[in-house]
Amino acid sequence: MERGLRTLEHSSRCISDRPFVLRTNQCHPRRLDRRSIRIQAVSVLKDVPTWQQLSACAGASALEGYVLRRKEVPRSAPTPTLPTTADAETDKPVLLYRDTNAWCPYCERVTFALAEKDVPYDSVLIDLRDKPAWYKDIVPTELTPAARINGELVYESMDILQRLEREFTEFPLLPSDASLREEAETVMGASEALGGAGFRFVAGGSLATRPDDEKPGPASDSQLAEMQAAFEEQLAEFEQQLSKHEGPFILGEFGLVDIVYAPALERLAANLPVMRGFKLRDHPDYPHTAAWFHALDQRPAYQKVKSDDVTHNQVFKRIFGVPLAAAPASSPGQVAARKEAAAKIAANRTAVVNDLLKNSGIVRGRTNQYGNTLRAVNGYPMEPSPAAVAAVEYALRRLCSWLLHGTPGPRHPDLEAAALGSAALVFFAGRASSPRDLSAAACTELRDGCWQLLKDMY
C-alpha cells in the first residue's frame, strides 16, 4: 500500500485515456514471455455497466420514498424531509422531528406507528449532537421525537403514540375491548423495565453508573451474572405475557403494545449475541419470544423502519465503547434488497464518492508520508485527483454490478487503483447505515457485497 500510492503523477498516469500497459522487467528471464502482454484499460473498464444502465436495471420502484438532500446532511433520507429550520411547514397532518441518523429507538416507535396507520407525514431531522436553539426552545425536554399533529406540538414517544391513536382512527392499534385495552396500558408501562435491564446487561457497566458504584466502568463476572439474571427475570415475564393469548403478538393480535416493545428488543437481539453471547431471537428457553420476533419481521411497516444488526452494533460501540466482535453477514439472494442497494448507490453516487474520498483516508496532502492524492490547479483549493475519483467510482460500479448480477465484472488492471477501491469498500461497509441510507435488508446485502469484492480486488 505504501509503495503503491507514491505520487499523484504516477496515479494519474495509470488511470488515463491511454491504454494501460503491464510492463515487465527485462532483467528477469522468467518474465520475457510477458513482454507482449497489453491490457487495454479503457475497453476493460467499459465492460462494467454505466450508471445509467445500472439505474435502469435496478428500476425506479426501488427508489420509492427515497429522498436526495443535495445541500443538507445526511445527503439522503428514507422518507420525505424538510429543511431543519424553525419555520418548516407541511401540508400533511403530521410533522415529525426525529434524529438525523434514524438510530433513536423512541423515534422508531413513532415511525413504525405512522407506517402501520398509513398516516402521511414529513420529517425535520435534528442533529442530536448539535440541536438547534429553536428546537430546544419549543421542546421542553430537548429530546427527540417530537411531532406537530394537526398543528399541535406533542413530545415524548408514548404521548405521540397515544395522540396518533386518537387522531387517526382508520387503522386502530389499541383493542376496542375494555379489559384488553387496560391490559395493553399495563404491559406498555412495563416496557422500560425490560429494555433497561437488557441494555445494562449489554453494556456491562458502560451504559450508566451501577447502583453501588460511584463511576461507570467494566463489570466483573459476578456483576455481569447479576445483570443477566435481572434481564432474564424481565424476559421471563415478557415470555409469560406472550403465552397468555392465541397468536404470536403480545395481546395475540398485532397492536400498539408490539410497537412500543419492538425498537428496544430489536437492538438487544442485535447486541446481545455479539457483546454477551446471548442469542435472544432464537433462545430455546423463550420460544414465544422467538415467535414474536418472526411474526414482527413479517410486517411490511416494520421492514420500512427497522435497522440491521451490524448498524446497531456499530452504533452501540461508538456511543458506549463496548468491544464489538464481527457480526456474521446474511446470505445473498435477496433480489429486491440488492436492487434497492444498487439503485440508491447509483442515484446518490456523487455524494457517496465524495464522502468516501474525504473520510476514508484516500485523499492525502503532499506532505503525507503515503503520498499525495490531491491537486491544486491555477490557485484553486486542493481537490482529489481524477485518478482517485475514477478508482473509487470503478469500485462502486463493480459493487453495484455484483448486487444486480451476482458478478462484479473485470478487476481494475492497475494495482494502485485496486488499492484505492479496496480502501473505499472497507470504509463503505462500515459507513452505510439503515434505515438512514437504505433498508436493513439492503444494508446487509451492501456490506456482504463489499466483503465479497474485497476478495476479488487483486
The pLDDT value recorded for residue 381 is 57
Over 60: is that where the pLDDT of 22 sits?
no
Task: Yes or no: say if 272 and 278 are a contact pair by the CB < 8 Å rule.
Answer: yes
**456's grid cell:** 476479488
> Poorest-confidence range of 34-48, 152-166, 183-197, 248-262?
34-48
Q: List the grid coordinates of 44.
A: 476493460
Q: What is the mean pLDDT of residues 182-210?
A: 86
For residue 284, whether the previous peptide bond is cis, meaning omega lies within 30 degrees of 0, is no
At residue 358, the pLDDT reads 84
Mean pLDDT of 25-32: 35
User: Domains (ranges, CATH) in the chain?
Assistant: 8-53+330-454 (1.10.490), 78-167 (3.40.30.10), 178-320 (1.20.1050.10)
Look over the chain and give the mean of its residue pLDDT values, rounded to a whole number. 83
> Amino acid identity, residue 295?
A
How far apart are the C-alpha atoms of 157 and 299, rounded to whole Å?
21
pLDDT at res. 79: 86
283-322 burial: b if 16+ Cβ within 10 Å, else e: beebeebbebbeebeebebbbbbbbbbbbbbbbbbeebeb
Residues 304-317 pLDDT 10s: 999 999 899 888 87
Secondary structure of residue 282 in the 3-state scheme: coil
**382, pLDDT greater than 90:** no
Label residue 73 by pLDDT band (50, 70, 90): confident
Residue 120 in this model has a pLDDT that exceeds 70: yes
pLDDT of residue 209: 42
Nearest Cα residue to 164 out of 270, 93, 76, 69: 93
Does residue 9 register a pLDDT over 90? no
pLDDT bin (cut points 50, 70, 90) of residue 14 is: very low
Q: What was the pLDDT predicted at 139?
A: 97
Look at residue 1 in the predicted model and tell me its pLDDT: 36
Average pLDDT estimate for 390-413? 91
Mean pLDDT of 24-51: 50
Q: Please check the confidence at residue 178 and state whether its pLDDT lies above 70.
A: yes
Give percent of the chain above pLDDT 90: 61
Q: Is the pLDDT of residue 444 over 80?
A: yes
Q: Which of 243-252, 271-280, 338-347, 421-430 has the lowest mean pLDDT?
A: 271-280
388-398 tens-digit pLDDT: 899 999 999 99
| Cell numbers placing 231 | 434481564
For 264-273, write each residue's pLDDT tens digit: 999 999 999 9
- Torsion angles phi and psi, residue 405, rounded to 5: -120, -10
pLDDT at 39 over 60: no
Higher-pLDDT residue of 325, 386: 386
What's the pLDDT score for residue 320?
A: 74
Say how many CA atoms lie within 13 Å of 42 toward its Cβ.
4
Within 13 Å of residue 405, how many CA atoms lie on the same side as its CB?
13
Q: Is the per-residue pLDDT at 380 higher than 80?
A: no
Q: Which residues neighbour 401 within 8 Å (Cβ) at sequence distance 6 or greater?
A: 48, 49, 54, 407, 408, 409
Query: Residue type for 373, please?
Result: T
Helix (H/G/I), strand (E/B), else coil: 82: strand
Question: Is the model's pLDDT at 214 over the cut of 80?
Answer: no
Pairing, β 121-126 against β 94-99: parallel
pLDDT at position 6: 34
pLDDT at residue 8, rounded to an integer: 27
Quick one: average pLDDT of 359-364? Answer: 79
| pLDDT value of position 70 | 82
- Asked if residue 31 has pLDDT above 60, the reply is no
Distance CA 256, CA 301 (A): 13
Q: Tell me, what's the pLDDT at 295?
A: 98
Separation of CA 258 from chain center: 23
pLDDT band at 86 (very low <50, low <70, confident <90, very high): very high
The pLDDT of residue 361: 80
